[in-house]
Amino acid sequence: MDLRDKLNILGDAAKYDVSCSSSGSKRNSPKGGMGCGHSSGICHTWSADGRCISLLKVLFSNACKYDCAYCVNRRSNDIPRATFTPKELINLTLEFYRRNYIEGLFLSSAVIGSPDYTMELLIKVAKELRLVHHFGGYIHLKAIPGASSRLLFEAGLYADRSSVNIEIPSDKQLQYLAPEKNFASIYRPMNFLAERKLEYKTDKSKYSPKFLPAGQSTQMIVGASGETDFQILTLSAGFYKQQQMKRVYFSGYVPINADKRLPVITTKPPLLREHRLYQADWLMRFYKFEYNEILDEKNPFLDPDLDPKVMWALRHPECFPVDLQSADYEMILRVPGIGVRSAQLIVSGRRYSKIRFEHLKKMGVVLKRAKYFIYNSDVPRELHKLYPEMIRPLLIAGKPKNDQLDLFDAMPAALPAPAKAQPSANALPIANN
């Protein structure tokens, strides 16, 4: 098997890992070598599904000894298998990097032999890149659950970011779908790395070695098992707080294996649900929302029709309208249609002049949504007299309908109606358009 086939097989096996970022690490080019870390990360290209490619994302090997139901590489699948040699992989990384195709290496692996043996192979590649080839680019190493602490620690010295994927957001479901894994085995490396990073962080000297400068990330599959959005958000809020994660990724379940424990193979990936979850994730990371403000026990699912920020605003009419001239920055951030940049512009500009409608338009505020929630002399008074139930259909009506018309929708109900894909428990009563 030549290198090109190996690269295709092992790239294909790694593509379901959604982590793509190359941010958070600022490295200068080492003496005699090449490569630097750019702190905001650099996307190099986008694949045909619109996901960014910034790192050479490959598995070291896809010959796995585990049998997780959702995974392409499980041992019960009859698929082509391949394994790199460290030299091949290092050469490939350096050549791609020299041509500016990639920002660095994202190295993961199926478990071959034992977790320790696999981890050793990954570390060998990273170590040789850093110490022999003086490579200063980004390295993302997977921490293999079950690897010893000594190896995890060593990985942290060479990698910029490390990650352990939790994949299934509840312990019971995880053990059901992946018999060799459980929450404890996944949390252990996460916690270990988070604690070591904290230790290194206290030592601020510029001569102390770096330990995982870009922190940790993890990912969960959405739609493979029956968790609610509220459970998923609770879990990810915990990761941000306790394990100091930089990112939690959501991956809409793409069916590959026929397995009676999983949704049928013809299910489409829940792209809209994934999108809404990312929106909620953004609210937590950049808009100062708490997870239990976005959803709660009674409303455990995000609304497919409206984004979570609008949903929060409609549930809290007591907070609106917001006076842009005097409200806190935090409150302006919560207005639907106003983003971080425009909120900052409003706050720094309102000292010098009154913020008018034309200012907002030029700043890029989405007035279509914001006008119901702000108090401004240019906003017609009637808009403030509307109830949330009246605003909701107005906000939805403005959107173009995305889904294709169904041939059978127009026919009389002779056929049994298809089951609804997602019950939205928190939907307010609205007129059906």
Partner 1 sequence: MSLAIHYDSTFDGFLSAVFEIYRQHLDVSCFVAERTYEAEREAATDLFAQPFHVETSEDSANRLRRAITNAASKDVLNLLETCFRSEDANIEMNILAYLRKLFAGLDPNYGRNPSSLEMIPLITIARSVRREMDNMYGMVRFNKAPDGMYIAEIEPKYDILEMIVGHFRCRYPNGTWAIIDVKRGFGVYYENYRTHFVTVPDPSYISAHAPPDEFTRMWKSYYDTMAIKERLNPRLLRRCLPVRYWKHLPERSLSNYSAKNIGNVVPPQLPSEVAKSNASASIRLK
Binding residues for partner 1 restricted to 313-342, rule: CB under 8 A: none
CB of 347 to partner 1, least distance (A): 10
CB of 409 to partner 1, least distance (A): 23
Binding to partner 1 (CB under 8 A) within 197-256 occurs at 252, 254-256
| Cα 135 versus chain centre, distance | 27
CB of 133 to partner 1, least distance (A): 12
CB neighbours (10 Å) of residue 421? Answer: 12
Cis amide linkage into residue 412, ω under 30° from 0: no
Q: Which is nearer to partner 1, 147 or 374 (CB)?
A: 374
Q: Which stretch binds partner 1 (CB under 8 A): 76-84, 165-173, 297-305, 380-388?
A: 76-84
CA atoms within 13 A on the CB side of 370: 26
Give CA–CA dist 54/418, Å, rounded.
40
> What six digits make up the tokens of 129?
């890149």
Tell me, what DSSP letter sits at residue 384? G
Q: Which stretch binds partner 1 (CB under 8 A): 30-38, 162-170, 201-209, 325-333?
A: 30-38
Instruction: Report residue 429: phi and psi, to 5°.
Output: -65, 125
Helix or strand holding residue 104 (H, E): strand 104-108
| DSSP helix/strand/coil, 5 | helix
Q: Which is nearer to partner 1, 216 or 219 (CB)?
A: 219
165 binds partner 1 (CB under 8 A): no
Identified binder of partner 1 from the candidate list 65, 196, 350, 384, rule CB under 8 A: 350
Q: Give bridge partners of residue 255 from the DSSP assignment.
A: none
Candidates 43, 42, 79; CA nearest to 64 is 79
98 binds partner 1 (CB under 8 A): yes
Identified binder of partner 1 from the candidate list 39, 85, 87, 95, rule CB under 8 A: 95
Q: Which is nearer to partner 1, 79 or 394 (CB)?
A: 79
Q: For the window 249-288, what string marks contact with partner 1 as x by the rule CB under 8 A?
A: ---x-xxxxx------x--xx-x-----------------
336-362 core/surface letters (b: 16 or more CB in 10 A; e: else): bbbbeebbebbbeebeeeebeeebbee
CB of 49 to partner 1, least distance (A): 4
39 binds partner 1 (CB under 8 A): no
349 binds partner 1 (CB under 8 A): yes
Identified binder of partner 1 from the candidate list 199, 297, 318, 358, rule CB under 8 A: 358
> How would you class 254 by CB atoms within 10 Å of its CB: exposed for 0-12, middle for 13-18, buried for 19 or more?
middle
43 binds partner 1 (CB under 8 A): yes
Binding to partner 1 (CB under 8 A) within 51-70 occurs at 51-54, 56-57, 62
Q: Which is nearer to partner 1, 366 or 428 (CB)?
A: 366
